[in-house]
């Protein structure tokens, strides 16, 4: 059993900053210009994003993608089911399984190809893929608290030491404007 690490995002800007910090942890600080070293997902990674509708799952992903250098829009894949991003630091697939009626539908999405050893795969509503999705490397539970959000990071055992050591206590400052 791994320990859950909780952090607080008082507003949307902080939620975006947490996403960028998560991107640096997963894809390497070099990817975000914050240092050197490999990321936790250097050989691929599966992250479950859990929370009620409107909790900020896609906002966290937007921050992660922007932190990795994506400058375009970031849409929720609610209708497309998957949005893929080829970035210099990583190939990222963002899935939203809210509209999946049967976990076997993931086979039609090419889930086996997405879960390769080079891609970071972020999955909203992962319970809809139960029995097809493997266990995650990290689960991020997002819940409302007053005007902000609590982010509870629950890493698999292999990621626990690095996440505990490298996840900031407070959201990092936003990156400088281009």
For the chain, percent of residues with pLDDT exceeding 70: 89
Give 146's pLDDT tier (boundaries 50, 70, 90): confident
Among the ranges given (100-109, 125-134, 165-174), the one the predictor scored with the smallest mean pLDDT: 165-174
Complete DSSP assignment for 67-104: HTT--S----TTTTSEEEEE-SS-EEEEEE-TT-SSTT
Q: How far, in whole angstroms, is CA 85 from its chain's centroid?
A: 13
Q: What mean pLDDT is predicted for residues 107-127?
A: 89
Residue 31 scores a pLDDT above 50: no
What pLDDT does 97 receive? Answer: 93
Q: What domains can you pick out in the chain, each with its CATH number?
A: 5-33+40-166 (3.40.50.300)
**Most confident region among 26-40, 121-135, 156-170 by mean pLDDT:** 121-135
Q: Are 164 and 3 in contact (CB under 8 A)?
A: yes
Q: Rounded to two decimals, what is the model's pTM?
A: 0.88
Mean pLDDT of the chain, nearest integer: 85
Q: How confident is the model at residue 2 (pLDDT cuts 50, 70, 90)?
A: low
In angstroms, the Cα distances linking 65 to 80, 101, 108, 121, 157 are 18, 28, 25, 12, 25
């Amino acid at each position: 059993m791994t320990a859950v690490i909780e952090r607080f995002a008082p507003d949307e800007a902080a939620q975006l900053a947490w996403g960028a910090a998560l991107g640096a942890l997963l894809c390497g600080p070099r990817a975000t210009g914050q240092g050197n070293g490999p990321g936790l997902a250097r050989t691929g990674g599966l992250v479950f994003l859990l929370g009620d509708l409107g909790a900020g799952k896609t906002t966290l992903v937007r921050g992660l993608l922007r932190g990795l250098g994506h400058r375009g829009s970031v849409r929720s894949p609610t209708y497309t089911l998957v949005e893929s991003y080829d970035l210099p630091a990583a190939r990222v697939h963002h899935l939203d399984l809210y509209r999946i009626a049967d976990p076997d539908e993931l086979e039609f999405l090419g889930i086996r190809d997405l879960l390769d050893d080079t891609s970071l795969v972020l999955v909203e509503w992962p319970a809809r893929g139960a029995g097809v999705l493997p266990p995650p490397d990290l689960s991020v539970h997002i819940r409302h608290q007053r005007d902000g959000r609590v982010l509870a990071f629950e890493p698999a055992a292999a990621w626990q030491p690095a996440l505990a050591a490298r996840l900031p206590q407070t959201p990092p400052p936003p990156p400088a404007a281009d």
